[in-house]
A and B are shown apart, each in its own frame.
Chain A
């Protein structure tokens, strides 16, 4: 898996959009970009993933740079329940059993 770099922490106000950046400058052509988040005292949960095109789902949007060396997770309206550590991971979409390698993640704090 290619190494990813994220800010250690970010703050947001409730009901405002949040843009969480991730650098993955050594990503290979077949590596996907995955985002998971971990709420306090829980296991991580899937947020979104993509390869080249921007992606949207009910939780978030993923904007991928044209050169794929960076991406941004967008939470359109942050809520207090979005306070978590967000992990950006690059690697294959591999349901055959390759593990996810977690970096440090970004701790998102949401202020009311």
Chain B
């Protein structure tokens, strides 16, 4: 089946630094990717939608200058958390629809970000 590879799985960074999270679709092309954030014991909240070759669309309340999204190719989308603060500590998950002929959304394995 379709696979989305997400890296890193865990990252600890200092306040004020930036962290990049990568999501790659391994065996299909993903013109769209969705980025979610999940706090402990809560559900997934959509942050933004990235589209290959165009600007990302951010959900209300999500700062686009803080969460930079780049969808550089049909198989790679990145989320950069800039000037990270402890309140940005969360579980970040990407997802991509599997394509025209296959139903379903494939999710990455998630990135646990801890900002200290």
Q: Which residues of A contact B (CB under 8 A)?
A: 36, 38, 41-46, 49, 87, 93-97, 99-105
Contacts and interface: CB of A to CB of B under 8 A. Distances in A.
A59 B80 CA distance: 35
Interface in B86-116: 91, 93-95, 97-100, 102-110, 112
Contacts of B109: 42-43
A49 B91 CA distance: 26
B19 interface: no
Given A44-B44, A103-B43, A95 B97 contact: yes
Interface of B: 4, 6, 31-32, 34, 36, 43-46, 49, 51, 91, 93-95, 97-100, 102-110, 112
Nearest to B36: A102
B93 A43 contact: yes
Contacts of A44: 44, 93, 95, 107
Given A46-B104, A94-B97, A102 B43 contact: yes
Contacts, number: 58
20 contacts: A36-B107, A41-B112, A43-B4, A43-B108, A43-B110, A44-B93, A44-B95, A44-B107, A49-B103, A87-B43, A95-B100, A95-B103, A99-B34, A99-B49, A99-B95, A102-B36, A102-B43, A102-B44, A102-B45, A103-B43
**Majority SS of interface residues in chain A?**
loop
